[in-house]
Homo-oligomer: A and B are copies of this chain.
């Protein structure tokens, strides 16, 4: 620590530009933007949380199912649902009961009130998807999804495997 180096705006700008080309740096920001926008839309659609919206959508669309099914569809940890469901229950959006055949499972069902909440949010969220299709063509969306599949496959490869692979060369 001799002379405190000075701030160099040009280097900082350069670093910023570089990070914009780094997929790993972009994903957090893109996801955060998506989450915030989703929350805003949901505000207009009755004030559901994201987890609540996803859950009502799944239940209204595919009928009753277990917590595990919900987590699988939402590609998220079941604990998110374990925590969200009591509140949804309290709000009267869902009912749940233990499965008779397999008493480990909890079967979740949407109520009339839950379906009503879904029906307020659904058109707003549908407009969101429609708006995206005005910005990206069907084909571009397909392209994006195809690349996303491959990026996701990479991201789900365990770190050890990737490091070993590199070492082996």
Contacts and interface: CB of A to CB of B under 8 A. Distances in A.
Interface of A: 1, 4-8, 11-12, 14-16, 18-19, 21-35, 37-38, 40-41, 43-44, 54, 58, 61-66, 69, 72-76, 95, 97, 107, 109, 111-112, 124, 127-132, 135-136, 140-141, 143-145, 147-148, 150-160, 162-163, 165-166
8 contacts: A15-B58, A19-B73, A23-B132, A28-B34, A28-B76, A30-B151, A31-B31, A128-B162
A33 B152 contact: yes
A97 to B, nearest CB: 8
Contact of A24 (B34, B58, B112): B34
Contacts of A127: 162-163, 166
Contacts of A29: 75-76, 152
Given A159-B41, A166-B131, A64 B144 contact: no
Contacts of A25: 54, 74-75
Contacts of A109: 4-5
Complex copy number for this chain: 2
A142 to B, nearest CB: 9
Given A16-B72, A72-B16, A7 B65 contact: yes
Contacts of A141: 23
Contacts of A7: 63-66, 69, 107
A126 to B, nearest CB: 10
Nearest to A17: B73
B24 A128 contact: yes
Contacts of A128: 24, 159, 162
